[in-house]
Amino acid sequence: MKTRIVQIDENNIDGEAVRQAGEIIRSGGLVAFPTETVYGLGGDALNPASSRKIYAAKGRPSDNPLIVHIARWEALAAIVKKVPAEAVKLAETFWPGPLTMILEKSDLVPGETTGGLDTVAVRMPSHKTALAFIEAAGGYVAAPSANRSGRPSPTVAKYVRQDLDGRIEMILDGGDVELGLESTIVDLTEQVPTILRPGYITGQMLKSALGRVEEDVTILRSDSGQAPKAPGMKYRHYAPKGELTIISGSEQQVVDYINAQLDQWRDENKKTGVIATDATIGAYRADVCKNAGSRLDESAMARRLYRILREFDDEDVEIIYSESFEGAGVGQAVMNRLLKAAGHRVTELK
Ligand code: AMP
Ligand code: MG
């Protein structure tokens, strides 16, 4: 299959390109498109054959459900059993935007889209191209991130192409995304709303809107002995090809420890990389140093993380160390993704 790549400007949307992309979805094909979080791989959420194609194109296990993207609030009612008051509140506060809600699904949504679950994940993105495309596609676009399963999510179209060229009909290239991490997922089918995946909308923000919210214990830990409630969170994810280890401790301890490791790897002729910050970027003796930015700007770190992981692959880095990024807000989401990318390999310096 030849994949067509079409440039599209969010502020001057090419109506004909969007119409053609919508037509591909309506006839059962796949289109990758920009959202404010990461690029999505879209198919018709109400067509079981389309969802099967998404799993095949990504190489994704089919028990890992897809998020259904809508462009209008009125579209929600048809795909869920009921719209609880909490969903109304969250939509008023955070939609369109980087928040996904889990609700009980209606019969309209095929089991292929929800990985066999009775619940469905729904989000209304804020990206103007995404909204126009979803409308043109019939209003319900199932879209996981547009990467091959296990790889870092794409924040630019170049990386969508790297993973999916020849596997899908079209890529809408809208340039760099704004946020760089996938949506926050909150489950509204539990007694107390529960965060299954942290993101740009933080626990504190959800708590302000709802009064109460819990967190799935597996978000930052691998030793809880529990399976994550979002099926996808159990898989290794976001991983670069090189071996990534997170080092946590005081700044000086971390720099000294990583440099000692780097010296050993150099003796073995391995190509090394480090994820550093503004404060430490000059301190490492690695072949490739990437700057995640200032620790005070967690959003900028979020925006850079996946690109950095992909760039290590582009440069064939074999051994990677990262500083640790604890944080209360978006920093928690950054750490959640970094831990998955590292397969929870962390060295804590005492
Ligand atoms: P992605 O599409 O790559 O952003 O991944 C979607 C995430 O949403 C995965 O971690 C899924 O497991 C999760 N998800 C989607 N639908 C549901 C659902 N009905 N219940 C729980 N988690 C879900
Ligand atoms: Mg994904």
238 located within any domain? no
Same domain flag for 105 and 148 = yes
Same domain flag for 210 and 247 = no
Count of domains for the chain: 2
Same domain flag for 58 and 186 = yes
Q: For position 151, which CATH number holds?
A: 3.90.870.10
Same domain flag for 194 and 64 = yes
Residue 224 has pLDDT above 90, yes or no: no
Please tell me whether residue 141 adopts helix, strand or coil conformation.
strand
Does 175 or 217 have the greater pLDDT score? 175
Same domain flag for 161 and 266 = no
The β-bridge partners of 244 are 320
Which pLDDT does position 328 carry in this prediction? 78
From the list 223, 230, 217, the residue with the least C-alpha distance to 64 is: 230
155 located within any domain? yes
d(CA 249, CA 245): 13
Same domain flag for 30 and 123 = yes
Residue 330 has pLDDT above 80, yes or no: yes
Ligand whose nearest atom lies closest to the CA of 216? 1
Which pLDDT does position 218 carry in this prediction? 76
Q: For position 254, which CATH number holds?
A: 3.40.50.11030
226 located within any domain? no
Residue 225 has pLDDT above 70, yes or no: no
122 located within any domain? yes
Same domain flag for 117 and 261 = no
How is residue 295 written in tokens? 């620790």
Strands 67-69 and 141-142: antiparallel
d(CA 270, CA 317): 8
Same domain flag for 192 and 318 = no
State how far the alpha carbon of 100 is from the alpha carbons of 185, 279, 309, in Å.
5, 34, 25
Lining ligand 1 with CB less than 6 A are 64-67, 102, 114, 117, 119-121, 144-145, 182, 185, 196-197, 229-233
Same domain flag for 201 and 293 = no
Residue 71 has pLDDT above 80, yes or no: yes
Same domain flag for 95 and 190 = yes
Same domain flag for 182 and 282 = no
15 located within any domain? yes
328 located within any domain? yes
237 located within any domain? no
Residues of 66-86 as b/e, b for ≥16 C-beta within 10 angstroms? bbbbbbeeebbeebbeeebeb
> CB of 60 within 8 A of CB of 112?
no
Ligand whose nearest atom lies closest to the CA of 195? 1
Residue 228 has pLDDT above 80, yes or no: no
248 located within any domain? yes
Which pLDDT does position 226 carry in this prediction? 67
Residue 254 has pLDDT above 90, yes or no: yes
All residues at 6 or more sequence positions from 329 whose CB lies less than 8 Å from its CB, including other chains: 202, 204, 298
Same domain flag for 17 and 140 = yes
Could you read off the pLDDT of 94-104 as tens digits, one per residue?
A: 999 999 999 99
**Best residue for ligand 1 mutational test, from 62, 67, 159 (most atoms within 8 Å of Cβ):** 67
Residue 309: which domain range?
A: 243-348
Taking residues 271-295, what's their average pLDDT?
Answer: 97
* Å from CA of 153 to ligand 2 middle: 6
Omega of the bond leading into 96 within 30 degrees of 0 (cis): yes
Taking residues 164-169, what's their average pLDDT?
Answer: 98
From the list 116, 136, 107, the residue with the least C-alpha distance to 46 is: 107
Q: Is this prediction's pTM over 0.85? A: yes
* Å from CA of 254 to ligand 2 middle: 30
| Mean of pLDDT over the chain | 95
* Å from CA of 144 to ligand 2 middle: 5
> CB of 43 within 8 A of CB of 50?
yes
Taking residues 128-133, what's their average pLDDT?
Answer: 98
Which pLDDT does position 58 carry in this prediction? 96
* Å from CA of 67 to ligand 1 middle: 6
Q: Which of 215, 232, 265 is the last residue of a domain?
A: 215
Please tell me whether residue 172 adopts helix, strand or coil conformation.
strand
